[in-house]
Amino acid sequence: MAIDLAPQTVAEDVYQQIRRNILDGRIAPGTRVSIRSLAQSVGVSTMPTREALKRLHFEGLVEFDRRAVTVTDLTPGDLRELFAIRLTLESLATQWALTEITSTDLTELRRILDLMDDPHMDPPQWRELNREFHQTFYACGNSRYLMELISNVWDRIQPYMAIYSSVVDNFPEAHRQHEHMYRLMADRDLDGLLAATRHHLEHTADSVIRTLDTAHDTHRKTSMNFEELDVASFHTMIGKGEVTSATLTAWYLDRIADIDSVANPDGLQLNSVVTLNPAALEDARRIDEQYARTGALVGPLHGVPILIKDQGETKGIPTSFGSRAFADYVPESDATVVERLRSAGAVILGKTTMCDFAAGWFSFSSRSDHTKNPYDLDRETGGSSAGTAAAVSANLCLVGIGEDTGGSIRLPSSFTNLFGLRVTTGLVPRTGFSPLLHFQDTPGPMARNVSDLAAVLDVVVGYDPTDDYTTVATSAGVGDYLDAIADVDADTVADYRVGVLTDAFGAGLDQELTNGVVRAAIERLRDSGTAVVDDLVLGGLPEWVQGTSLYTISSKKDIDEFLAARPTAPVTSVEALVAAGDFHPLTDLVVDIADGPSIPEDDPEYLPRRLRQDEWRRTLMTIMADAGVDFLVYPTVQVPAPTRADLAAKRWTALDFPTNTVIASQTTMPAISIPVGFTDVGLPVGLEVLGRPLAEKDLLRFARAWELTASPRRQAAAVARVGA
């Protein structure tokens, strides 16, 4: 009977692949992963994977059970023991090799050392050459058995050498030691060489263990899963010594490289992060060091990795405002919001994608093109805070900062199952954020949970003497948002009355997909004790929207004044951008803005529309007062996230896209988009909750109660971590 050897052949190949990944540090010590996902990663079934794992378990490289495998994680004591064994074996190998070494061997060792002296040597190459140097020398002793023993010990240490060599930028001391040993080999000085070998191995052991103590967790993917982490839990873990800011920062940077970066052909290429902060890890370590010295958090956002919409200026980090013309523009100072985040202990991971100068509802940008929606990679994330929405939802940061002029925080939050808050205009300073309409602009937080929204809001809200709109932040009751939600439970939804703004639902096949989810959420609120007043009608919603829109009248002046105030800006006007073609062709509003008046007040529509905004605010507040409700509720956006094909076909323009977010924006009222469910094909839907001016605390309390009632947050399957 013929014997099928294919399974053994496959198992051998799988064994070699997994073993190499472990030895090279690509699957780091402590990593736990399901056998199924590990099999998928090497493109085979679980049977040959299990066979390979049995061999690796026998070698001591992994531990595994029925469903998952963990790469063996050695303690510093284990490592010192292995280095002691290595010293014993290599001392014997040195004695045997030195009597047999030839001039040809010395020439080969010289060649390897010369290669290792290359200042541009990358860590994996250095690590391989380091092993080759020692192996070439010990092989002179002509003992296969001794070399097998040494090789086995090397393999057990190799993953930690991979971590060590990936952290250290250069190896001058190691190179000096190798040169010293080489001279002793050439001189046939056995006593000197044995002493140098002992010193070299003790130095290496100390360096590896010290690296693991200070940066091990920051440069490997651990078994810890930081997905859906919140600020409070992160700080609790810090207090218990379970994690550091550098650990979390490195985890997010790894994840960005894996699933977001367009440079990774094997990833999802979400394209939400346009620029990384090269000092992010250094900043995180500095925060960790301060905590180690003092035992106290440096601020309310201690060590929290945050991504900032590329609309906000960041000192030392390129800020493009979504425009390719500004790809190399590096601000000399931070936006006020960024400055406050840093002071509170946040780590700025980098900048997120946005459409050109925030002039649109979508992600298309001349700087970064399209950002994919984590819930459907063929659909829009929504804009203009597209990158922040996709990044927060895909767990590429702990929390994110967006900016909202017409709905640019809430619309993408609705499309990505997030909580997104637009505050009363002026509560959060706009200084350092490129404007679109200064009387509507406001930066703000985007988060996976309400508590993180409140935590960030506490940091960024407040008066800024460089922004006179922020005088509103001196009003009574502003601030202490995290405290305001501390006592909220699921029953708190019964403390509020909401009015359903019926004519904000829209009609059509796409609208009905959204309407069904929103109405189901309203019924759940009703069943949970919220008083619901149905069928409130504004009347003439399209006319209200059109009659209060000032983008084509005022945005040109606002943007031009912002650019003119920056001496190093490569372009100083919207007209120049359009003339040069430095905008994405689907960002159609940019052209309309460039055609607008240089002096808005000269346009006959300016004053009527500004007055109409005030009238609309009074009308909405009158509806709320007459109905005796705390909030108005309606779909954040009337349709689900559109496909890229929809946008390429120009199904909508910026000025006619059916988003309800303009209701709050063009009346400067606060509103929050809360996730309330998914369409039949899994697209997230948001409910907008509109409050009276300065109603942020009640909005957050209501949203937190809904969160506890419905647990609406669901991670996108495409970006969920496999295994662990």
- Encode pLDDT of 194-204 as tens digits: 999 998 888 88
Q: What is the pLDDT of residue 63?
A: 82
Give the list of residues 6+ apart from residue 437 with CB closer than 8 angstroms, or none. 405, 406, 550, 551, 554, 555, 558
Label residue 404 exposed, middle or buried (CB < 10 Å: 0-12, 13-18, 19+). buried
Q: Among 164, 194, 219, give the residue marking a domain's end.
A: 219
Give yes or no: 309 in active site: yes
Rounded percentage of the chain residues whose pLDDT exceeds 90: 70
- pLDDT band at residue 159 using 50, 70 and 90 as cut-offs: confident
Task: Let me know whether 244 and 157 are in one domain.
Answer: no
Q: Are residues 87 and 62 in the same domain?
A: no
Q: What is the pLDDT of residue 266?
A: 84
Tell whether 316 and 451 lie within a shared domain: yes
In a domain, 570, yes or no: no
Residue 2 is predicted with a pLDDT of 34
- Let me know if 277 is exposed, middle or buried by CB neighbors in 10 A (0-12, 13-18, 19+): buried
Share of the chain above pLDDT 70, in %: 91
Classify the C-alpha dihedral 596-600-605-611 as positive or negative.
Answer: positive
Q: Tell me, yes or no, whether 80 and 173 share the same domain.
A: yes
38 and 118 within one domain: no
Q: Which residue has the higher pLDDT, 53 or 222?
A: 53
Residue range 523-567, pLDDT digits in tens = 999 999 999 999 999 999 999 999 999 999 999 999 999 999 999
CA distance 53 to 35: 9
Q: Are residues 64 and 82 in the same domain?
A: no
Q: What pLDDT does residue 7 have?
A: 42
Average pLDDT of the segment spanning 380-392: 96
Catalytic residue among 165, 245, 384, 665: 384
Residue 404, in any domain of the structure: yes
Query: Model confidence over 246-300: pLDDT tens digits?
Result: 889 988 988 998 899 998 888 899 999 999 998 998 899 899 989 988 999 999 9
For tokens 């800011």, the residue is 245
Q: How large is the average pLDDT for residues 606-635?
A: 98
- 64 and 35 Cβ atoms separated by less than 8 Å: yes
Active site residue 54: no
- pLDDT of 10 higher than 80: no
Does 428 lie in the same domain as 367? Answer: yes
Q: What is the mean pLDDT of residues 405-424?
A: 98
Please indicate, yes or no, if residue 569 is contained in any of the structural domains. no
Model confidence band, residue 450 (pLDDT cutoffs 50, 70, 90):
very high
Q: Which of 165, 323, 363, 408 is catalytic?
A: 408
Confidence of residue 164 (pLDDT cuts 50, 70, 90): low
The enclosing domain of 186 has a CATH number of 1.20.120.530
Tokens 């890890």 -> residue: 281
Sequential DSSP letters for 47-87: HHHHHHHHHHHHTTSEEE-SSEEEE----HHHHHHHHHHHH
Q: Are 349 and 420 found together in one domain?
A: yes
Instruction: Decide: residue 547, CB within 10 A, 0-12 exposed, 13-18 middle, 19+ buried.
Output: middle
Provide the β-strand partners of residue 498: 532, 631
Residue 429: both structure tokens together: 């300073």
Model pLDDT, residue 23: 76
What digits encode the pLDDT tens for the residues 293-320?
Answer: 899 999 999 999 999 999 999 999 999 9
pTM for this entry:
0.72
Arithmetic mean of pLDDT over the chain:
90
pLDDT at residue 66 in the model: 62
Q: Is the pLDDT of residue 471 over 50?
A: yes
Q: CA–CA distance from 28 to each of 62, 65, 164, 199, 526 (Å)?
A: 11, 18, 12, 27, 50
Write the CATH number for 28. 1.10.10.10
Considering the candidates 245, 261, 272, 309, report the single residue annotated as catalytic: 309
Q: Higher confidence at residue 602 or residue 32?
A: 602
Distances (CA, A) of 33 to 106, 601, 671: 44, 62, 41
Same domain, 156 and 295: no
Tell me the C-alpha distance between 231 and 303, whole Å: 9
Residue 590, in any domain of the structure: no
Bridge-based pairing of strands 497-501 and 531-536 is parallel
109 and 38 in a common domain? no
Confidence band for 160, pLDDT divided at 50, 70 and 90: confident
Asked whether residue 567 is assigned to any structural domain, the reply reads no
Q: Is residue 717 part of a domain?
A: no
Instruction: Look at residues 406, 133, 396, 130 and name the one whose alpha carbon lies nearest to residue 272.
Output: 396
Tens digit of each residue's pLDDT (9 = 90 or more) over 186-235: 999 999 999 999 988 888 888 777 766 654 444 444 446 799 999 999 99
Q: Which two tokens mark 683?
A: 């697209």
pLDDT tens digits, one per residue of 635-669? 999 999 999 999 889 898 888 899 999 999 999 99
- Domain closes at, from 196, 219, 242: 219
Co-location of 397 and 431 in the same domain? yes
Which pLDDT does position 274 carry in this prediction?
A: 96
pLDDT band at residue 174 under the 50/70/90 scheme: confident
The total of structural domains in the chain comes to 3
What is the pLDDT, as a whole number, of residue 217? 46
65 and 104 in a single domain? The answer is: no
Does the residue 193 lie in any domain? yes
DSSP for 91-122, written as a single string: HHHHHHHHTT--HHHHHHHHHHHHHHT-TT--
Mean pLDDT of 47-73: 79
- Domain-embedded: residue 535: yes
The whole-number average pLDDT for the span 52-61 is 82
The yes-or-no answer on residue 408 being catalytic is yes
Where in the sequence is the domain holding 49, given as residue range(s)?
10-70
The yes-or-no verdict on residue 167 having pLDDT over 70 is: no
